Amino acid sequence: MTTHRLTLEYDGTDFHGWQFQRDRRTVEGALREALAAVGETEAGITAAGRTDAGAHAHGQIAGVTLHRDWTPRSLAAALNATLPADVAVVDATRSVPAFHARHDAVSRTYRYAVLALERSAPILRRHAWTVRGPLDVAMMRDAAASLVGVYDFGAFGSAPRPGGTTVRTVHDATVTTHRAGGLEMVVITVTANAFLRGMMRSLAGTLVAVGQGRMAPDAARRMLQAPKARPRSLTVAPARGLHQWAVTYPEAA
């Protein structure tokens, strides 16, 4: 038995999220099918997180425990020859036998892409949220800065397991602008020890509402102070603009 750490990239548009479902197309299902096609029918799989249906990943980490003694290079090549066009293994490394992609992670980074336009953006419609602009980016940055720290983020999402804590540590939260295809894109980047279900999309929705003037500049701070009082005016950003970006681990993992 050998354990490998796979870095996966995928366009989540046509997937019902990461987690395997018998009657739905999922990323884990596609990975299991590819592993079975190369003779690994009983592979053990862990993942750093469960991305939402329609969300994308640039650095999703999967731990796979296999029966055959693969080299990382041959494993990546074999899987990429079998995986569908909207998923790819971009890196593979040997890992310790006990490696668990979720439990061993020390931080995760998500990005959310927003276009502020008065028209549609056909080229980027599958990977960004188009909103009515303009956006006050400076105000969004101030609101994002208030998210950094150890807080109860219950107003922004729910715990993965019933009764689980909704306290999370946000290490960094930034709002930047980038040019993409002649368009200016606003990118919200958040790094945390872990995320609640729906947390990143709720954070993005809040920051965009602040940028549009629909919510007060201190809205995010007030939501942290009242984690059980989710504002009715909060718009949860759609999954298409969400990009799981990176996961970090201790050197020994």
pLDDT above 80 for 123: no
pLDDT digits (tens, 9 = 90+) for 46-60: 999 999 999 999 999
**Sign of the alpha-carbon dihedral angle for 160, 166, 169, 172:** positive
Paired with 109 in beta bridges are 191, 246
The secondary structure of residue 204, as a DSSP letter, is: H
Residues labelled catalytic? 52
Q: Are 103 and 85 in contact (CB under 8 A)?
A: no
Q: Does domain 2-95 have CATH number 3.30.70.580?
A: yes
In the chain, where the domains are located: 2-95, 107-248
CB atoms within 10 A of CB 203: 29
pLDDT at position 14: 97
- Least confident stretch, 84-88, 115-119, 169-173, 194-198: 115-119
pLDDT at position 251: 81
CATH no. for 107-248: 3.30.70.660
CB atoms within 10 A of CB 116: 21
Q: Which of the four pLDDT bands, split at 50, 70 and 90, describes residue 184?
A: confident
pLDDT above 80 for 180: no
Residue linked to tokens 């809205």: 219
Q: What is the pTM for the complete model shown?
A: 0.94
Q: Which of the four pLDDT bands, split at 50, 70 and 90, describes residue 252?
A: low
**Identity of the residue numbered 45:** I
Instruction: Tell me if domain 2-95 and domain 107-248 are identical in fold.
Output: yes
